[in-house]
């Protein structure tokens, strides 16, 4: 058996390595990955698609001693409908799968739509839902979707694992409630009410960039009035947010111009944007109001069976 090095088609591989030195383990099961992570006591890092982690390694912002590659774990790869019409999504499900799957399109069209905004095709082909939720970028689409869709996140850990509500998962930018030795294994999306109207609106500097602001909306309508509403936004706080006051505001009412004005104010009041190179806090606050108005109108129309 030739050693890996002799087999390597690129003899110059070592010239191009940018990260600090690390050991590498390709885990074959969830149990093996959890055990390895636990044994590292904070010096290990799970790698799945690597779309956020590898750049951080290359900049040497992170210097884990062990990378545990979970891409080979078959039990993390599934996407199936639950009996009630919800979805069970394995942690290794890729963005591109969520974007194109007929099942997702049928049950959660807002999710497929949002996925088309995630970076570029090459990234969507590698990036995973478990990775994106664990990374918890405040301007990434999947954390927003998890919060909008009331996702339940199942984890594995040496203690056996638990279920975390999306609303509880995100603590701050790039920070979750996941413990040191805890891995996301599954995301469950509860079923939507029939004929739920939906919309997703995002503004980014270029196609595929992180959102300056984005809003996702779900509306159910009964007898010409909003019977339930979910409004989630991102890019305007340390974590994705639900606009609870705005949701309560429109519940039981028909969407009209003056209600929309009130809604925009409520949404803007609910966010705590930061200023960065690409957008000031004031502009983000302005933007999230504009996007919320557009998204609520579109979702309302869809709920009424009209073209948005």
Answer yes or no: are the C-beta atoms of 120 and 97 closer than 8 Å: no
Closer residue to other proteins (CB): 60 or 162: 60
Nearest distance from C-beta of residue 66 to other proteins, angstroms: 17
Closer residue to other proteins (CB): 89 or 287: 287
Nearest distance from C-beta of residue 94 to other proteins, angstroms: 21
Please tell me the number of Cα atoms within 13 Å of 51 on its side-chain side: 25
Closer residue to other proteins (CB): 21 or 223: 21
Nearest Cα residue to 294 out of 217, 237, 234: 217
**Residues 6+ away with beta carbon under 8 Å from 82:** 88, 188, 191
Nearest distance from C-beta of residue 283 to other proteins, angstroms: 4
Q: 207: how many CB neighbours lie within 10 A of its CB?
A: 9
**Residues 6+ away with beta carbon under 8 Å from 255:** 226, 296, 297, 300
DSSP for residue 90:
E
Nearest distance from C-beta of residue 50 to other proteins, angstroms: 16
Closer residue to other proteins (CB): 43 or 81: 43
Contact set with other proteins (CB under 8 A)? 12, 14-18, 20-21, 55, 59, 203, 205-210, 212, 277-280, 282-283, 286-287, 290-291
Closer residue to other proteins (CB): 101 or 132: 132
Nearest distance from C-beta of residue 260 to other proteins, angstroms: 12
Q: Rounded CA gap, 205 and 85, in Å?
A: 36
């Amino acid at each position: 058996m030739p050693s890996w090095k002799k087999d390597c088609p690129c003899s110059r591989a070592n010239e191009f390595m940018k990260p600090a030195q690390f050991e590498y383990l390709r885990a074959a099961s969830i149990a093996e990955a959890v055990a390895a992570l636990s044994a590292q006591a904070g010096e290990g890092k799970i790698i799945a698609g690597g779309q956020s982690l590898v750049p951080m390694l290359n900049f040497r912002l992170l210097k884990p001693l062990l990378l545990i590659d979970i891409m080979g774990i078959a039990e993390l790869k599934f996407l199936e409908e639950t009996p009630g019409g919800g979805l069970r999504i394995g942690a290794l499900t890729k963005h591109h799968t969520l974007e194109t799957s007929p099942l997702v399109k049928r049950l959660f069209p807002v999710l497929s739509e949002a996925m088309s905004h995630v970076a570029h095709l090459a990234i969507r082909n590698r990036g995973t839902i478990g990775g994106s939720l664990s990374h918890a970028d405040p301007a990434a689409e999947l954390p927003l979707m998890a919060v909008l869709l009331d996702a339940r996140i199942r984890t594995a850990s040496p203690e056996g694992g638990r279920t975390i509500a999306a609303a509880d998962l995100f603590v701050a930018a790039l920070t979750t409630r996941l413990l040191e030795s805890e891995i996301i294994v599954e995301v469950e999306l509860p079923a939507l009410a029939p004929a739920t109207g939906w919309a997703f609106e995002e503004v980014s500097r270029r196609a595929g960039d992180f959102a300056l602001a984005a809003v996702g909306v779900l509306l159910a309508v009964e007898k010409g009035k909003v019977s339930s509403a979910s409004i989630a936004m991102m890019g305007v706080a340390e974590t994705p947010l639900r606009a609870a006051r705005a949701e309560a505001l429109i519940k039981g009412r028909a969407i009209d111009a003056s209600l929309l004005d009130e809604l925009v104010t409520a949404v803007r009041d609910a966010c705590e944007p930061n200023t960065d190179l690409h957008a000031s806090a004031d502009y983000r606050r302005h933007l999230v109001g504009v996007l919320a108005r557009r998204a609520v109108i579109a979702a309302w129309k869809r709920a009424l069976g009209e073209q948005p």
